[in-house]
Amino acid sequence: MSYVYDAIVVGGGVIGGAIAYNLAKRGGKVLLLEKERLASKASGAAAGMLGAQAEMDGEGSLFQLARKSRAMFTQLAGEIKETSGIDIELINKGMLKVALNEQQQHEYKRVIAIQRQSGEQADWMTGEEVRRKEPVLSDAITGAMHLEKDGQVEATQLTLGFLKSAVARGVVIKEFVEVYYFQLSKGKVSGVVTNEGNFYSENVIVAGGAWSKKLLSKTGLQLDTYPVKGECFSVVSHSQILTTTVFSHGCYLVPKKWGRIIVGATVKPRTFCKKVTVEGISILMEQAKKLMPSIVEAEWERAWAGIRPQTADGLPYLGEHPIYKGLFIATGHFRNGILLSPITGEVIADLVEGKPTSLNLEPFRVDRLVRQLT
Ligand code: FAD
Ligand code: GLY
């Protein structure tokens, strides 16, 4: 028999990394398997926004999950730095969710009222106030939600930070090992079958992003998920400085260290193709120019694409397989996997340990969509 572990995590993205890190912190002997390179998929493509308020309205279970996760970043940044030496580049300079017309203005003011009722800070800024704060922004912006607590991180650094910290706590990571199937019998999982042989554990966690559906279909579970491609590009602006993340309908500008700005992202459902298209980048460029006209003077850096895992009802799957005990699933984080990674790591580690979770996971049950149909 091959080596036996307390848990095996499938997937070396931010979600698999967060889970392995949390399990290791609790003393588990963990193996993480990644079919390609670590952080090579969605987690390495993300802009790193922690948009609990910018990307959600302020009601529902996803919002509760997101605000809890966002609040974990300050402590996490310190822990990762101390354990691995990696700086996740947490920036807490807030976000401006900008309106370009009256309809958006009306909608965002409604969202501000809802978010304030939930106890969150959210303020309306006029176009003039926005430009006073960020002089490089254009006159086309008629106002904005100012969201002080929506920060950002460097997504690849966060992913590698989780993984390197996990290794420092004893996790074994194997790249280029693909999980083909699970060892299943009598309603339980006992390991995985891979291109490098079998590995054994009574706990297996599938964190395979957009590829989780295919793997789990072999267990008789049809997750209602689909891939959504996102293209981005980055530039370096030597003179025109933007400090706050700007989020608008169809385009965002995320200022990073050294004048670098990430411009994202397209949303192309139902494709695993990672080609960056001229069409995608031209649309983003037009929108970026509308927000920040002087971006035309910035120096081109690069363009890339990633595949987001989306679910039919927009909520991630966080829970145990409905048939096989010990087989856990954490996927479907769509546009917010970076933001949701700390809380996902914590609650999945709770489930594996059989402990009560810090929040109700009922809305995220793996069999929820199946049950609705029956
Ligand atoms: P992935 O990062 O895709 O990782 C899954 C891993 O599992 C992959 O490395 C894959 O190779 C591996 N794998 C799959 N099957 C197997 C198998 N059978 N055996 C072994 N390994 C396997 N989120 C935010 O919160 N903020 C943002 O600003 C943000 N911006 C984004 C911008 C873009 C352009 C994109 C594409 C996404 C963005 N996201 C953002 C979303 C975020 O990136 C995803 O939700 C998150 O990365 C999903 O993480 P994951 O670990 O589930 O998936
Ligand atoms: N959350 C940003 C994106 O998915 O593009």
| Residue 196 lies inside a defined structural domain of this protein | yes
Domain final residue, candidates 269, 293, 310: 310
Confidence tier at 373 by pLDDT (50, 70, 90): low
Distance 137 CA to ligand 2 centre (A): 21
Claim to verify: residue 296 and residue 168 sit in the same structural domain: no
| Residue 337 lies inside a defined structural domain of this protein | yes
* Ligand 2 neighbours (beta carbon < 6 A): 47, 49, 55, 230, 264-265, 308, 335
| Residue 212 lies inside a defined structural domain of this protein | yes
| Residue 70 lies inside a defined structural domain of this protein | no
Cβ neighbours for 257, distance < 8 A, ≥ 6 positions apart: 89
| Residue 39 lies inside a defined structural domain of this protein | yes
372: left (phi over 0), alpha (psi -120 to 50) or beta: alpha
pLDDT at 239 over 90: no
Q: What is the pLDDT of residue 278?
A: 98
Q: What is the pLDDT of residue 59?
A: 86
Biggest CA–CA distance in the chain, Å, is 68
CATH number at residue 329: 3.50.50.60
| Residue 69 lies inside a defined structural domain of this protein | no
Identify which of 90, 177, 335, 344 to mutate to test ligand 1's pocket (most ligand atoms within 8 A of the CB).
Answer: 335
151: left (phi over 0), alpha (psi -120 to 50) or beta: beta
Claim to verify: residue 346 and residue 213 sit in the same structural domain: yes
108-117 pLDDT, tens digit per residue, is 999 999 999 9
Claim to verify: residue 234 and residue 146 sit in the same structural domain: yes
| Residue 260 lies inside a defined structural domain of this protein | yes
- Backbone phi, then psi, for 149, in 5-degree steps? -90, -10
CA gap 310, 370 in Å, rounded: 16
Claim to verify: residue 99 and residue 239 sit in the same structural domain: yes
218-237 pLDDT, tens digit per residue, is 999 999 999 999 999 999 99
Claim to verify: residue 125 and residue 258 sit in the same structural domain: yes
**Sign (positive or negative) of CA dihedral 144, 148, 153, 159:** negative
CA gap 117, 111 in Å, rounded: 10
Claim to verify: residue 129 and residue 146 sit in the same structural domain: yes
Claim to verify: residue 245 and residue 336 sit in the same structural domain: no
Classify each residue of 325-353 as buried b or exposed e, where b means 16 or more C-beta atoms within 10 Å of its C-beta: ebbbbbbbbbbbbbbbbbbbbbbbbbbbe
C-beta 308 within 6 A of ligand 1: yes
Claim to verify: residue 232 and residue 304 sit in the same structural domain: yes
Claim to verify: residue 200 and residue 304 sit in the same structural domain: no
Helix (H) or strand (E) holding 230: strand 225-236
Beta strands at 143-147 and 172-174: parallel, antiparallel or unpaired: unpaired
Total structural domains in the chain?
2
| Residue 367 lies inside a defined structural domain of this protein | yes
CA gap 168, 191 in Å, rounded: 24
pLDDT at 313 over 90: yes
Q: What is the pLDDT of residue 238?
A: 85
C-beta 13 within 6 A of ligand 1: yes
172-193 pLDDT, tens digit per residue, is 999 999 999 999 999 999 999 9
pLDDT at 17 over 80: yes
Q: What is the pLDDT of residue 372?
A: 56
Claim to verify: residue 136 and residue 233 sit in the same structural domain: yes
Domain that holds residue 264: 92-150+226-310
Claim to verify: residue 174 and residue 218 sit in the same structural domain: yes
Nearest ligand, measured from the Cα of 304: 1
Domain final residue, candidates 274, 289, 310: 310
Claim to verify: residue 140 and residue 160 sit in the same structural domain: no
Domain final residue, candidates 310, 326, 346: 310
CATH number at residue 282: 3.30.9.10
pLDDT at 241 over 90: no
